[in-house]
Amino acid sequence: MKIAVLAGDGIGPEIIAQAVRVLEALRSDGLKIELEWGLLGGCAVEAAGEPFPEATRKLATDADAVILGAVGGPQYDALPRPLRPERGLLGIRKALNLFANLRPALLYPELANASTLKPEIVAGLDILIVRELTGDIYFGEPRGIEQREGQRVGFNTMVYSEAEIDRIARVAFGAARRRNRRLCSVDKMNVLECTQLWRDVVTETAEEYPDVELSHMLVDNAAMQLIRDPRQFDVMVTGNMFGDILSDEASMLTGSIGMLPSASLDENNKGLYEPIHGSAPDIAGKNVANPLATILSAAMMLRYTFDLESAAARIEGAVKKVLAEGYRTADIYEPGMKKLGTAEMGGAVLANL
Ligand code: NAD
Ligand code: IPM
Ligand code: MN
């Protein structure tokens, strides 16, 4: 099993190092994996002049799975748009056809008090956000900033084809079938034609999944409902941009954005695995970032791409134990707990594998 490792920028190298330690520990226990390192994002711009170099494309295409830290940072914000680190990330998602982004928001009971919401609102939280990842306003054309009648005008295009909507809906219905059989599709059909089509197609696809209860919600209400009563949701399915925003919101229900892993999958479960958070430039290089989202992303990789449920559960079990023992990084710290740095948290997971 070939795994491409892309550390990226900011806290990327710090958090990916901890996930790699965990994978290497499983390898010395007999897991047959090969790790190969590559460049994506700002570090790739610095080394190779582009955020998604050909060598990385080849590495990722040849690998069975990719694990990624995060990309981006203020030092790259002035670069021309095609050279931005984020373009590299969008490029690799598109190149590998990773249209299905699974973002589980799961509250570890030990972290019920770490959330900014009351524990009784979030206790037992277990929702799955299925975010479409290769379409929508992220990729729609035309896009740009232009001079029109003496002033600058910025524009992007929100666009989805029915094939794109149908295939992500099938992923979401399938996931709901393996969970509590409830799917909420999130759109803005009261204003946007693109999402009217979204609602129509999801409703049509639902005919093939009569055992799953489908509901629809407008995105502004969904944002509010996630905070009011998040446990009303089982699986949520939505487009690229709404999914980006709602998943950051959902992460805080679990205590910290540093806890949320993700899988980005193609039709054959080849995948890229990364925490949902970014490169956190404000804390980079300080050994304080929470590596658990990245370590849990490695677990998702073993489950989804390699079908190694027990190895995945072993990692998740170790994370649970570490939390139960009271170990916390700064983002989930509460008085009375034992505060650890990034590398020490990685070490604690290793010790409990
Ligand atoms: P961010 O997710 O990097 O950080 C938001 C806040 O959360 C910060 O205060 C940060 O310190 C904190 N945080 C994030 N991850 C953490 C962790 N593991 N442990 C503890 N705290 C953590 O979002 P941002 O600041 O808006 O973006 C910073 C850069 O990252 C930008 O360049 C952005 O484009 C990029 N970005 C990349 C990805 C990705 O690579 N997938 C995702 C989001 C943002
Ligand atoms: C994410 C990030 C990316 C996105 C950016 C960095 C391109 O926010 O993975 O959630 O918007 O998809
Ligand atoms: Mn995001």
Residues found in the chain:
353
For ligand 2, whether the C-beta of 300 sits within 6 Å is no
Q: Look at residue 301 in the predicted model and tell me its pLDDT.
A: 98
**Per-residue pLDDT band at 220 (split at 50, 70, 90):** very high
- Mind listing the pLDDT tens digit for each residue in 43-101? 999 999 999 999 999 999 999 999 999 999 999 999 999 999 999 999 999 999 999 99
Distance (angstroms) between ligand 1 centre and the Cα of 259 equals 12
* Residues with a known catalytic role: 138, 188, 220, 244, 248
Taking the CA of residue 275 as reference, the ligand 1 atom at the shortest distance is 41
Of the candidates 254, 283, 308, which is a domain's last residue? 254
Per the domain annotation, does 109 fall within a domain? no
Distance (angstroms) between ligand 2 centre and the Cα of 211 equals 33
Per the domain annotation, does 239 fall within a domain? yes
Residues 129 and 8 in one domain: no
Residues 250 and 263 in one domain: no
Residues 164 and 43 in one domain: no
SS3 string of 131-158? EECCCHHHCCCCCEEEEECCEEEEECCC
The residue to mutate among 84, 89, 102, having the most atoms of ligand 2 within 8 angstroms of its beta carbon, is 89
Residues 68 and 147 in one domain: no
Instruction: Name which residue sits closest to atom 8 of ligand 1, judged by CA.
Output: 280
Instruction: Name which residue sits closest to atom 4 of ligand 2, judged by CA.
Output: 244
Residues 95 and 146 in one domain: no
Residues 137 and 230 in one domain: yes
With tokens 């940072």, the residue in question is: 73
Residues 45 and 166 in one domain: no
Q: How far is CA 338 from CA 113, 119, 203, 348, in A?
A: 15, 20, 49, 11
> Could you give the residue ranges of the DSSP H alpha helices within 112-252?
119-122, 162-177, 193-205, 219-228, 240-251
Residue pair 265/304 in contact by the 8 Å Cβ criterion: yes
For ligand 1, whether the C-beta of 305 sits within 6 Å is no
- Mind listing the pLDDT tens digit for each residue in 281-300? 999 999 999 999 999 999 99
Q: Look at residue 218 in the predicted model and tell me its pLDDT.
A: 98
Query: Binding site: what residues are annotated?
Result: 73-86, 93, 103, 131, 220, 244, 248, 278-290
CATH of the domain at 137: 3.40.718.10
Per the domain annotation, does 110 fall within a domain? no
Residues 290 and 216 in one domain: no
How many folded domains does the chain comprise?
A: 2
Residues 291 and 240 in one domain: no
Residues 49 and 144 in one domain: no
Q: Look at residue 80 in the predicted model and tell me its pLDDT.
A: 95
Around ion ligand 3, which residues have CB less than 5 A away? 244
Per the domain annotation, does 106 fall within a domain? no
Residue pair 186/246 in contact by the 8 Å Cβ criterion: yes
Taking the CA of residue 8 as reference, the ligand 1 atom at the shortest distance is 40
The question of ipTM being above 0.95 is answered as: yes
Per the domain annotation, does 107 fall within a domain? no
Of the candidates 190, 225, 254, which is a domain's last residue? 254
Residues 246 and 121 in one domain: yes
Instruction: Name which residue sits closest to atom 27 of ligand 1, judged by CA.
Output: 278
Q: Look at residue 102 in the predicted model and tell me its pLDDT.
A: 98
Per the domain annotation, does 330 fall within a domain? yes
Percent of the chain at pLDDT exceeding 70: 100
Of the candidates 206, 223, 254, which is a domain's last residue? 254
Mean pLDDT of the chain: 97
Domain residues for 57? 1-100+258-353
Per the domain annotation, does 230 fall within a domain? yes
Give me 154's structure tokens. Answer: 């910025």
Average pLDDT estimate for 241-248? 97
Average pLDDT estimate for 233-249? 97
Average pLDDT estimate for 3-26? 98
- Mind listing the pLDDT tens digit for each residue in 165-213? 999 999 999 999 999 999 999 999 999 999 999 999 999 999 999 999 9
Residues 4 and 132 in one domain: no
Per the domain annotation, does 108 fall within a domain? no
Is this prediction's pTM over 0.90? yes
C-alpha–C-alpha distance, residues 247 and 143, integer Å: 25
